[in-house]
Amino acid sequence: MPQPLQGITVIDATHVMAGPFCTHLLRLLGARVIKIERPDEGDVMRHYDRDPKYAEMAPPFMAFNAGKESITLNFKSPQAIEIIQRLAAKSDVLIENYRPGVMNRLGLGYESLSAINPRLVYCSVTGFGQSGPLRDNPAYDHIVQGVCGVMELTGEPGSGPTKVGFPMIDTFTGYSAAFATMAALLQRAQSGRGQFIDVAMLDNALVLMSSMVVPFLTTGIAPEKVGNRGFNGSPTSDTFKASDMSLTLGANTQKQFEQLCSVLGCAEIAGDARFVNAAKRIANADALHAALMPHLRKKPAREWEKLLNAAGVPAGAVRSVPDVLAEPHLQTRNLVLPLTPSTQGHTGYGLGLGFRLQDNNLEQLGAPPLLGEHTRPVLSELGYSSNEIDALQQAGVV
């Protein structure tokens, strides 16, 4: 069966994280992605901890750009603008993540390109969106983490601002941009027309945080830091120390709580008057933790994980990234995939989609492109002769 985006061509005028992650997802669904890079150094993400083993490419760059084609273009040249216009005439989607107004000033805004190709879906990814007083602010993931409220929700009550330990908003915003692009392609299938999509990191951060944002909108009660406690608020939905490492428990219901005590070998705690129902357990949370702790310390976290899950009590040993990637479970998930082996013989790896689509079974991610590797063939497809391409190269346009 053809992949979902088979036959779709995407112009990828993005750099670093959210934008390239968006086009990476479109690529995994079968789109052809033509990545536009600066002739001098290309996407700056090529160089984050770049590795001589991989032709000077950084591993995350490789994984997020595998299977894309790279062409170089110097946007300061009018000839480069013409190349994008010719490409836009033959493409389905353009994704860009420059600051608001930049593409317009170059003559590459939605109005200009949709005049050339009304079927073009045009998606702009920015920190704060195309409107509003913050629109011109530059943004990195951790800046938006500061602005969106998550740093005041993470960590123990009373702790200072705490950042989520990875660029959550970059990745999620890229995901959202890919989702929006697919929605616009579905709409185009009915209407025959493309459209403009405005994707902002701040908006997406708030959507990801919906379960904290939405109750506040309606009730006016501000959400607060709860440390490691689960959404349900039960004191037995929290993190505890086992004999070796930490363990998360999710004993929310009365039955789960009773099972927890039974598996831990302390059924008497379930019968204790201070802990007999959910309200009492919340009121006596510290005493309950103190009562459970010595029992939890009797076995290693992974042993509790097995025993408790088998008894219907959600439990998980707290793993590091290397720990979880070593789980035999993941080998069944088709999630960790090799890039195409590089010419140097060093294999890089990346991740596939977070879902398994029966008819889109991926076995590898493709080769990450060298800077400008596809300039010549792509320009040739657009009708440029070999002599013309040489001249563009000599003039520093490509």
Closer residue to its own copies, CB minimum distance, 39 or 167? 167
> Do residues 371 and 46 touch, judged by C-beta distance below 8 A?
yes
Q: How far is the CB of 369 from its own copies (least distance, A)?
A: 16
Instruction: Select from 191, 243, 277, 385 the one that contacts its own copies (CB under 8 A).
Output: 191
Q: How far is the CB of 189 from its own copies (least distance, A)?
A: 6
3: which 2 tokens?
């992949």
Q: How far is the CB of 395 from its own copies (least distance, A)?
A: 27
Alpha-carbon gap, residue 148 to 150, rounded angstroms: 6
CA separation, residue 27 to residues 21, 32, 66, 92, 304 (Å):
10, 6, 9, 13, 41
Q: Is 155 in the site for its own copies (CB under 8 A)?
A: yes
Closer residue to its own copies, CB minimum distance, 36 or 182? 182
Q: Is 179 in the site for its own copies (CB under 8 A)?
A: yes
Q: Which of 40, 170, 238, 390 is catalytic?
A: 170
> Do residues 296 and 240 touch, judged by C-beta distance below 8 A?
yes
44: which 2 tokens?
């700056």
Closer residue to its own copies, CB minimum distance, 234 or 375? 234
Element (H, E) at 18: helix 18-28
> Do residues 29 and 3 touch, judged by C-beta distance below 8 A?
yes
Q: Is 235 in the site for its own copies (CB under 8 A)?
A: no
Q: How far is the CB of 322 from its own copies (least distance, A)?
A: 5
- The stretch near its own copies (CB under 8 A) out of 76-84, 100-108, 174-182, 373-381 is 174-182
Rg of the Cα trace of the chain? Answer: 26
Q: What residues does 246 pair with on adjacent strands? A: 241
Q: What residues does 69 pair with on adjacent strands? A: 34
Quick check: helix, strand or coil at residue 317? strand
Q: Is 366 in the site for its own copies (CB under 8 A)?
A: no
Q: How far is the CB of 243 from its own copies (least distance, A)?
A: 16
> Do residues 271 and 292 touch, judged by C-beta distance below 8 A?
no
- The stretch near its own copies (CB under 8 A) out of 88-96, 231-239, 261-269, 378-386 is 231-239
Q: Is 52 in the site for its own copies (CB under 8 A)?
A: no
Instruction: Select from 78, 82, 111, 222 the one that contacts its own copies (CB under 8 A).
Output: 222
Task: Write out the binding residues for its own copies, residues 99-128 only, by CB under 8 A.
Answer: 128
Instruction: Select from 39, 42, 67, 129 the one that contacts its own copies (CB under 8 A).
Output: 129
- The stretch near its own copies (CB under 8 A) out of 87-95, 207-215, 279-287, 382-390 is 207-215
Looking from the CA of 352 toward its CB, the CA atoms found within 13 Å total: 18
> Do residues 121 and 194 touch, judged by C-beta distance below 8 A?
yes
Q: Is 171 in the site for its own copies (CB under 8 A)?
A: yes
- The stretch near its own copies (CB under 8 A) out of 82-90, 197-205, 279-287, 374-382 is 197-205
Closer residue to its own copies, CB minimum distance, 1 or 273? 1
Closer residue to its own copies, CB minimum distance, 21 or 275? 21
User: What are the CB-based long-range contacts (under 8 Å, 24+) for 86-90?
Assistant: 86/382, 86/383, 87/11, 87/34, 87/378, 87/382, 88/11, 88/113, 88/116, 88/117, 88/120, 89/116, 89/117, 90/9, 90/117, 90/382
Q: How far is the CB of 181 from its own copies (least distance, A)?
A: 9
Q: How far is the CB of 134 from its own copies (least distance, A)?
A: 4
Element (H, E) at 186: helix 168-191
Task: Write out the binding residues for its own copies, residues 296-335 only, by CB under 8 A.
Answer: 305, 309, 312-325, 327-333, 335
The answer to whether 170 is a known catalytic residue is: yes
Q: Which residues contact 75 (CB under 8 A, 6 or more apart)?
A: 38, 81, 106
x/- mask, its own copies, residues 338-357, rule CB under 8 A, reads: ----------xxxx-xxxxx
- The stretch near its own copies (CB under 8 A) out of 247-255, 257-265, 271-279, 375-383 is 247-255
Instruction: State the catalytic residues.
Output: 170
